[in-house]
Each structure stands twice: as structure tokens, then as C-alpha cells.
């Protein structure tokens, strides 16, 4: 990806706690950061994982090597955005963009039915109010360090 300030990279990793047997995201992060930082100092990591501890541990593991580590998957925005000592912005979960009156983006009735019956159920997206959860990060393009992280929450 290219910006007005130059190239930026986004690295998507998947956590292993409560997830299928996957490759180690910590070792993969090390390998990919080494490769990506030859092209750009700005590297954003999306860690798609269940456990908050795994997301935080990854952020500390790459502090100073990645511009940001942003958690996803739980669909609930956390209020713990910060800059770690090495200059890596971190937030446990950015949240969700989608229907507000839902169960992580699907019709409430569909989710409840699946929990009650334990059978697969087609999920549909409900109509109605929506929301946007996001973050804005200010990164120095010369050194790749985050200067600021701001949580955004917009409701319609």
C-alpha cells in the first residue's frame, strides 16, 4: 500500500488460542517484519485472535519493530489504546462495523436459534442502526514509530 508519506504494509496474523491448529503468529511476525521493513518502516499488524492475552503478548513481542498491533475478531471495541515504550501503537480489539442491534453483525434471532439448537443456521445481516468502530494512528514515516492512537466510535 502506498500513501502520501510513502509505502505502508499491513500484516494479518491469526492467533492460536481457542482457534484451529495454525502457524505460530509470533515467529511469523518476526519473519515478515524483517522482510517488510526492507521496503517500509510503517508496518501495521492485524492480529485476528480470541484471547486478549495473546494479542497483548504479540504487541510486546514486536514493540519497536511494528508501527501498530491492532486486535480483531471479538467484535467488541476495547478502551485500552496506547503507545508502548518502543513506539508501537496497541489496542486489544478495534471493534466492529455493522448493525448495532445484532449479535456480532448477524440477526439476533439467527444467533439465538443457533445457540438454542446447536445446529448450523444461515446468518443474515439485520437492517437498522449501524455503527463504526475504528482507530486512527499517527505514524512517523521516517522511523515507523507511532506518535498517537485515537479510538473512533460512530453510531448512526
Residue 102: the pLDDT is 94
Give the E-state strand segments of 36-88 in sequence order: 43-48, 68-72, 82-83
The pTM score is: 0.91
Q: What would the pLDDT profile of 27-59 be if each residue is shown by its tens digit? A: 999 999 999 999 999 999 999 999 999 999 999
Q: Report the sign of the C-alpha dihedral through residues 115, 124, 12, 42, in that order.
A: negative
**With 80 as the cut, is the pLDDT of residue 1 above it?**
no
Domains in the chain, ordered, with CATH?
2-96+131-155 (3.60.21.10)
Burial 4-38 (b: 16+ CB within 10 A, else e): eeeebbebebbbbeeeeeeeebeeebeebbeebee
Residues 93, 73 contacting (CB under 8 angstroms): yes
Amino acid at each position: 500500500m502506498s500513501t502520501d508519506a510513502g509505502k505502508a504494509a499491513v500484516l494479518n496474523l491469526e492467533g492460536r488460542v481457542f482457534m484451529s491448529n495454525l502457524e505460530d503468529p509470533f515467529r511469523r511476525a518476526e519473519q515478515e517484519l524483517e522482510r517488510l521493513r526492507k521496503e517500509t518502516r510503517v508496518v501495521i499488524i492485524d492480529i485476528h485472535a480470541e484471547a486478549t492475552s495473546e494479542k497483548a503478548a504479540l504487541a510486546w513481542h514486536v514493540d519497536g519493530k511494528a508501527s501498530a498491533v491492532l486486535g480483531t475478531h471479538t467484535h467488541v471495541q476495547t478502551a485500552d489504546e496506547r503507545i508502548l515504550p518502543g513506539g508501537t501503537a496497541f489496542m486489544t480489539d478495534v471493534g466492529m462495523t455493522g448493525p448495532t442491534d445484532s449479535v456480532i453483525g448477524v440477526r439476533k434471532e439467527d444467533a439465538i436459534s443457533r445457540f438454542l439448537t446447536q445446529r448450523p443456521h444461515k446468518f443474515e445481516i439485520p437492517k437498522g442502526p449501524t455503527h463504526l468502530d475504528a482507530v486512527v494512528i499517527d505514524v512517523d514515516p521516517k522511523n515507523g514509530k507511532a506518535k498517537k492512537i485515537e479510538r473512533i466510535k460512530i453510531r448512526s
